[in-house]
Amino acid sequence: MAAATEALLAVEGLVKRFGGLTATDNVCLDIRKGEIHAIIGPNGAGKTTLVAQLAGEVAPNGGTIRFSGRDVTRLPVDARARLGIARSYQITSVFRAFTALDNVAMAVQATDGHSFRFWRAARNESALRDPARAILERVGLGARTDVRAVNLAHGEQRQLEIAMALATRPSLLLLDEPMAGMGKDESERMTRLLARLKGEETILLVEHDMDVVFALADRITVLVYGRVIASDVPEAIRANPEVRAAYLGEGDA
Amino acid sequence: MKLDRRTWFVILLLMALAALPLVATLAGQEFQIAQFRRILIFAIAAVSLDLILGYGGMVCFGHAAFFGVGAYVVAILNWHAGREVPLIGTWMGTNNVLVTWTAAVLVSGGAAFLIGLVSLRTTGIYFIMITLAFAQMIYFFFVSLRAYGGDDGLRFDGDTVAFGLIDTQDDAAFYYLVLAVLCGVLYAGRRMVNSRFGMVVQACRENERRMKALGFPTARYKLAAFAIAGATAGLAGALFAAHESYISPSIMHWTRSGDLIVMVVLGGMGTLFGPVVGALAFLFLEKTLPDYTEHWMVVFGPILLLLVLFARRGIFGWFLPKEERDGGSH
Ordered per-residue pLDDT tens for chain B, 330 residues? 667 899 999 999 999 999 999 999 999 999 999 999 999 999 999 999 999 999 999 999 999 999 999 999 999 999 998 888 888 888 888 888 889 999 999 999 999 999 999 999 999 999 999 999 999 999 999 999 999 999 999 998 876 677 777 777 788 999 999 999 999 999 999 999 999 999 999 999 999 999 999 999 999 999 999 999 999 999 999 999 999 999 999 999 999 999 999 999 999 999 999 999 999 999 998 888 888 888 888 888 888 888 878 887 889 988 888 777 765 432
Of A169, A194, A225, which closes a domain?
A169
Query: Given A152, A169, A186, which residue is the final one in a domain?
Result: A169
Q: What distance in Å separates residue A43's CA from the closest CA in chain B?
A: 24
Give the 3-state secondary structure of residue A129: helix
Do the beta carbons of residue A152 and residue A82 sit within 8 Å?
no
Q: Is residue B157 part of a domain?
A: yes
A178 in the same domain as A165: no
- The reply to whether A183 and A252 lie within a common domain is yes
Residue at A233 is within a domain? yes
State whether residue A118 sits within 8 Å of chain B by CB.
yes
* pLDDT for the residue A2: 44
* C-beta of residue A66 within 8 angstroms of C-beta of residue A72: yes
Are residues B210 and A95, on separate chains, in Cβ contact within 8 Å? yes
Q: Which of A78, A86, A95 sits opposite B203 (nearest CB)?
A: A95
- Pair A184, A68 in one domain: yes
| pLDDT value of position A5 | 47
A215 and A151: one domain?
Answer: no
Residues B194 and B173: beta-carbon distance below 8 Å: no
Same domain, yes or no: A177 and A156: no
Backbone phi, psi, residue A180, to 5°: -55, 130
Nearest to A82 among B202, B215, B224 (CB): B215
- Cross-chain Cβ contact B213/A120 below 8 Å: no
Contacts of B214 in chain A (CB under 8 A): 78, 81, 86, 106-107, 110, 164, 168
Q: How far apart are CA B103 and CA B110, in angstroms?
A: 10
> Do B206 and A97 make contact, defined as CB atoms within 8 angstroms?
yes
**Structural domain includes residue A145:** yes
- A9 is a domain residue: yes
Asked whether the predicted pLDDT for residue A249 surpasses 60, the reply is no
- Which pLDDT does position B93 carry in this prediction? 85
**What's residue B160's pLDDT?**
66
Determine the Cα–Cα distance for residues B219 and B297; give it in Å rounded to an integer.
Answer: 38
- A97 contacts B329? CB cut-off 8 A: yes
Alpha carbon of B9: minimum distance to chain A alpha carbons (Å): 23
| A118: containing domain | 94-169
The whole-angstrom distance between A8's CA and the closest CA on chain B is 19
Chain A contact for B330 (CB, 8 A cutoff): yes
Residue from A102, A118, A160 to probe the interface with B (highest B Cβ count within 10 Å): A118
Residue B306 domain flag = no
Establish if B312 belongs to a structural domain: no
Could you tell me if A194 and A178 are in contact, meaning their C-beta atoms sit under 8 angstroms apart? yes
Is residue B17 domain-resident? Answer: no
Contact A57 B218 (CB under 8 A): no
- B37 by DSSP, 3-state: which? helix
| Residues A59 and A176 occupy one common structural domain | yes
Closest Cβ opposite residue B214 in set A76, A118, A164 = A164
Query: Is B110 within 8 Å of chain A by CB?
Result: no
For A109-158, what is each residue's pLDDT tens digit? 999 999 999 999 999 999 999 999 999 999 999 999 999 999 999 999 99
Query: Are B191 and A118 within 8 A, CB to CB?
Result: yes
pLDDT surpasses 80 at A246: no
Using CB atoms, pick whichever of B207, B215, B217 lies closest to residue A93.
B207
Radius of gyration from C-alpha coordinates of chain B:
20
Pair A209, A111 in one domain:
no
Position with higher pLDDT, B310 vs A60: A60
Is A89 domain-assigned?
no
| Whole-number Å distance between alpha carbons of A177 and A28 | 21
CA distance B291 to A8: 73
| A161 and A191 share one domain | no
Quick check: A251 pLDDT over 50? no
* Chain A residue with the nearest C-alpha to that of B190: A119
Q: Would you say residue B115 lies in a domain?
A: yes
Choose one of A169, A188, A205: the last residue of a domain: A169
Task: Answer whether A174 touches B (CB < 8 Å).
Answer: no
Provide, as residue numbers in chain B, all residues whose Cβ is less than 8 Å from the Cβ of A89.
210
pLDDT at A43 over 90: no
- Residue A150 to residue B210, Cβ atoms within 8 A: no
Cα-based angle A50, A52, A53 (whole degrees, multiple of 5): 65
User: Is there a single domain that holds both residue A158 and residue A175?
Assistant: no
Contact A102 B196 (CB under 8 A): no
Most distant CA pair in chain B, distance:
61
Three-state DSSP class for residue B238: helix
Question: What's the rounded Cα separation, in Å, for the pair B124 and B51?
Answer: 17
Beta-carbon contacts of B31 under 8 Å, excluding residues fewer than 6 positions away, are: none
Residues A4 and A44 placed together within one structural domain of the fold: yes
pLDDT one-digit tens code per residue, A73-90: 999 999 999 999 999 999
What distances in angstroms separate CA B86 from CA B76, B77, B92, B210, one per listed residue?
11, 10, 4, 53
Cβ–Cβ contacts within 10 Å for residue A67, how many?
22
Contacts of A164 in chain B (CB under 8 A): 210, 214
Is the distance from CB of A109 to CB of A115 less than 8 angstroms?
Answer: yes
Residue A248 lies in a domain: yes
Mean pLDDT of chain A: 92
Whether B220 is covered by a domain: the verdict is yes
Residue A107 within a domain: yes
Best mutation target, A57, A112, A115, A128, to test chain B (most B CBs within 10 A): A115
Tell me, yes or no, if A113 comes closer than 8 A to chain B by beta carbon: no
Mean pLDDT of A189-201: 94
Domain span at residue B123 reads 34-254
Cβ B207–A86 below 8 Å, yes or no? no
Task: Please give the tally of structural domains in chain B.
Answer: 1
Q: Is residue B1 part of a domain?
A: no
Checking DSSP bridges between strand B154-155 and strand A172-176, what pairing results, if any? unpaired
CB proximity list for B93: less than 8 A, separation 6 or greater? B76, B77, B78, B79, B80, B81, B85, B87
B-chain residue closest to A162, CA distance = B214
CATH code for the domain in which residue A178 is found: 3.40.50.300
Are A9 and A19 in the same domain?
yes
Asked if residue B272 is part of any domain, the answer here is no
Three-state SS for B167-216 is: ECCCHHHHHHHHHHHHHHHHHHHHHHHHCHHHHHHHHHHHHHHHHHHHCC
Could you tell me where the beta strands, DSSP code E, fall in chain B?
A: 154-155, 161-162, 166-167, 246-247
What b-and-e string marks burial along B230-261, b requiring 16 or more CB atoms within 10 Å of the CB? bbbbbbbbbbbbbbbbebbbebbbbebbebbb
Q: In this complex, do A106 and B207 lie within 8 Å of one another by their Cβ atoms?
A: no
Give chain A's domain count.
2
Cβ separation of B215 and A93 shorter than 8 Å?
no
Residues A161 and A103 both lie in one domain: yes
- Measure the CA dihedral B310/B314/B319/B324, to 10°: -80
Cα torsion B183, B189, B195, B196 to 10°: value is 160
